[in-house]
Structures are given as C-alpha cells and as structure tokens.
Chains A and B, each alone.
Chain A
Amino acid sequence: MSANLSSLFYLLSGILFILALRGLSSPETSRRGNYFGIAGMAISIIVTFLTLGNFGFGFVYVLIFLLVGGSIGAYIAFKIPMTAMPELVAGFHSLVGLAAVFVAISAFLKPEAFNLGVVGDIKLASLIEMSLGAAIGAITFSGSIIAFLKLRGIMSGAPVSFKGQHFLNLSLGILIVFLIYYLCISQLPNIFWSIIIISFLVGVLLIIPIGGADMPVVISMLNSYSGWAAAGIGFTLENSALIITGALVGSSGAILSYIMCKGMNRSFFNVILGGWGATDQSTSSKSQEQKPVKNGNADDAAFLMKNASSVIIVPGYGMAVAQAQHALREMVDALKKNGVKVSYAIHPVAGRMPGHMNVLLAEANVPYDEVFELEDINNDFANCDVAYVIGANDVTNPIAKSDPQSPIYGMPVLDVEKSKSVLFVKRSLSPGYAGIDNDLFYRDNTLMLFADAKKMTEEIVKSL
C-alpha cells in the first residue's frame, strides 16, 4: 500500500476515534461510539500490516503476540469487578506508558526501520520526539504503577513526603531536559538509557506524595500523560492516527484533571505538590472535644424514610469499599414501593476516579436518569425530607461554606444539611480524608447510623 493511501486511512482512524469520544456525550450514543473506536483501531492495525507488506515468518509471530495480549486483556475486562475500575485504569495507563518506552527504544536501536536515519546519525527532530515520548512514557509507567499500588491497597494511601522533595523533582526534570539536549549533540546510547531511567524515578517521586482521595486527579493526569507520550511517538513515526489520538487523550485527561481540581476548589499544583493530610493536623486535633450526636439504628432510619415523600441518596467512596451499591438499590426499590421519590446526588470527586459512583450505580441497575450531578440537584435538598449519606463525608461538610479558615473552604459541597433530616451511615466519628471534623454529625436534624455501609443498608431493607 502506498504511503499516501495509508496516511489517508490513518486519518480515517483518527476521525473514528474522535467519533468514539463524541458518542460519550450521552449514554444512548455511547455504545455506537465504542464501535467506532474499535473500527478505528482495526483499520490502523490492518493498514500497518498492508503498508509493511511483510507477511512472512514475523507476521505469524506478531499475530501470536497480538492474540496472547488480547486474551489477557479480554480476560481482565470480563473478570474485573466494577469497584476495581480505578486500579484497572491506572494499570492500563502503565501499559501504554511502557509500550511507548519500548517503541522509542526500538526506534533508537534501529532507526532505519522507521526512516529516521541510521544508528549514530538519527535525525535531530526524531531524536527529540522519541526521547520526549520515552521520557513521558516512562513517567506514565512508573507513576501509574504507584497509583495502582495505592489504589489496590498494597501500598499505603497516605502521602509520602520528605524534605527537599520538590527541589529533587525539579532538579531531575531539569536534568532530563539537559540530557535530551546532550543526546542530540552526542547521539550516545548511554544518554538515552539514562533519560529513561531518570524518568522512571521521576514518575515514582511525582505520585508518592499524593494521598488517596486525590487519586481522581492523579488518574486523570496520568491519562493525559499517556496521551502526550503517544503523541510524541506519533511524531517520531510520522503517523497521523497516533498524533490525533495522542492529542485527544492528552486533552481529555487534562480536562478531567481540571474538573476534579475544581470539584475540590484546589489548584492543580496544590494537588500535585502534596496532600491535605500533611498540613492540616493542627486543625483536626483542636476540635477533639466531645459533642453530643444522635445515634440511630436501622429501624429508625427505615421509619424516617418510609414516611418521607422524597429521599436523596449521597454515595461516596465508602459505598464502593463496602460494595453496598446492590443493597442500596434494594433499599430504593422498597422505598419506591412505598411511594417515596428517590434520587441520587453525585459530587464530582466522590470516589477514586471521575464518574466512579455513576458506574457503580449503573452496575446495580440504577437508571441513569435518577442520578444527578451536584449543580443539578443541590437546590432540591431544601425540599427533601431525608438525605441518606452513605460513605461520603468531606463533600457534605457545611464548613466549606462557612469557615474561611478551613482547608476545604470554597470547595463545592452538597447542601445535605438543608434537608429535613439527614441519615449519615458511617463506621465512626473519625474525620474524613481532609482531616477535618464534619459539623454535620452534631446537627439536630442528623441521625448517625454507626455501621458498615452495606450491613446497615441491608438491615434497613429488612425493616422496611
């Protein structure tokens, strides 16, 4: 196949990828969008084979490796529980990053295969592109591995920080830029390897200071990085499908990071430069005095909700941990039978990745038109009888609206306290991730239900 013709086909796959993302603007069109994406991928792969025209011995091996990888991927996709989506996505990002590194290494070792010059005399532009692709790919890889370990609970989610951390990161960043420059004049393989190794290190250092609840930002950021790495390789290979995809994924991840940061009213740099937990210990220890709370049980909760005319459910990460989404749906079904109007309110940063709660509710067969985003439902709390907070905490804290001293001041929160009564399912009174006490616990209209989210919800179902 001629180079011009194959370029047109690569452009076509790029357009199909754009349509795949476009489809996600509503659940109805999303499935068709996914098929566009698959078609785009198939076209890219087939065109690559036809352009190379090499259907010998190697081709068979390529197919075998493709099938091996494909079966592993398919197995994971069918087996993974929906609660594990954040770590799955983090794990997948690491693979894209590593693949980018491997392709860059291969191009560096055998530039003739990619029309980039010969060993020791690679074109300047290509050298810059491939080393940038390799560096970003390496950062994506090691950063995603750390994110994966933290989300999986293998590594503690607490922020790891040490003195001079930011200075070290900055110096390593500058060192990478300097090494790329030096690589361009010297073409020495050792410099290329050093760039990759230092980038692996930067990825680790970049993610370890970030705490568990900031993971939505981290995952989105790594998503963005994997895109930029792909784009870097796309420039090296002069392939428009890769360039278009890289740009799409890069900007998609960047927008998601922005939305997540906005959901916490924090700047991107504030998140990246370290967690809340480290700086706010003083505020949390101050407010340790005993305040009276109203303690309730499942029967009280069932009674309150059965007699309500409308209930809003506020799910958070705790619901995912307790796997309470199915029990929750049963509870809602029982309530609906009693003529109660039920809707769900989702905070943008609820859970460990963007849209995490929506997927879990969808898994439990909750229709998506009963699930609302913060800005669409926040006014309804004032007219609602019961708010059922399950596994959420900081995102309901009214202090974010009242106390300018609070670290979460200005963060958009769900106006849960405006509803007639609040049922708060929580295991203890301990503060949430931000390390600040939730004023809501001590309000007169709040009933605390101290239990595991799933157990409590199941008990409520029973007494309904």
Chain B
Amino acid sequence: MEIDPFIFRLSIFILSIFVGYYVVWSVTPSLHTPLMSVTNAISSVIIVGAIIAALSGSSFNIFETSNIFGFLAIILAAVNIFGGFLVTQRMLQMYKKKKK
C-alpha cells in the first residue's frame, strides 16, 4: 500500500515543531528581540509561493488577477526579508562583551 505524500509532509512538520521547541528554549533571553525579528524574516520564505503565483500562466499574460496577488505578495515578503535580516544584523552588532 502506498503512503500519501501528505503524511510525509506532516511528519516533517511535526518533527520541525520539536526541533523548534528545543532550539528556541536554548536561545538566551537577552536575544529574544532578535529572535522575533529573525523568525519574522525567515517566515517570509513564503515568497516562494508568491513567485510561483506571479510567474504562473503564459509569459505574455502575466497580469491576471492571480499574478497580481503574487506580485503584491512578493513586495510584502521582500520588505520582510530585507528588513528582518538587516534589522537583526543591526541589533546583533550592538551586543558586545565587556572590554577587559
């Protein structure tokens, strides 16, 4: 009997929740703000879906409604990707150890 691919994806999902659980508990509380901004940046990997949506259909008619939603999603996700990673980087640069 064949296993539905959905089950495989569900397995990845559930295992990732466990990975996330242990990884996030090991994050030091002083970095909780960068944690939020970086999780925000990586969740913008949703841009993958936005690109597929924007480029769907024939290349001569790329401004159907569904493509337009794709393009809008690309802008939103791109703001997040660049904004999220850069602001995280900016914050992390500030964390310094005592000068001995």
Contacts and interface: CB of A to CB of B under 8 A. Distances in A.
Interface of A: 10, 13-14, 17-18, 20-22, 24-27, 30-31, 33-34, 37-38, 40-41, 44-45, 48-49, 52, 54, 56-59, 61-62, 65-74, 76-78, 80, 82, 85, 88-89, 92-93, 95-96, 98-100, 102-103, 105-107, 109-110, 112-114, 125, 219-220, 223, 226-227, 230-231, 233-253, 255-256, 259, 346, 348, 353-356, 358-359, 362-363, 365, 367-371, 373
A413 to B, nearest CB: 17
Interface residues of B, number: 84
A355 B67 CA distance: 39
Nearest to A92: B40
Nearest to B78: A69
Contact of B85 (A38, A226, A256): A38
B39 A249 contact: yes
Interface in B12-36: 12-14, 16-17, 19-21, 23-36
Given A92-B84, A362-B96, A233 B46 contact: yes
Contacts of B38: 20-21, 24, 33-34, 37
A73 B81 contact: yes
Contacts of B84: 73, 77, 92
Contacts of B26: 22, 25
State the majority secondary structure of interface residues on B: helix
A161 to B, nearest CB: 27
Interface in B66-95: 66-67, 69-95
Given A99-B76, A243-B13, A353 B24 contact: no
Nearest to A368: B95
Given A95-B79, A247-B13, A248-B16, A239 B49 contact: yes
Contacts of B54: 58, 61-62, 65
Nearest to B5: A238
Contact of B12 (A17, A237, A243): A243
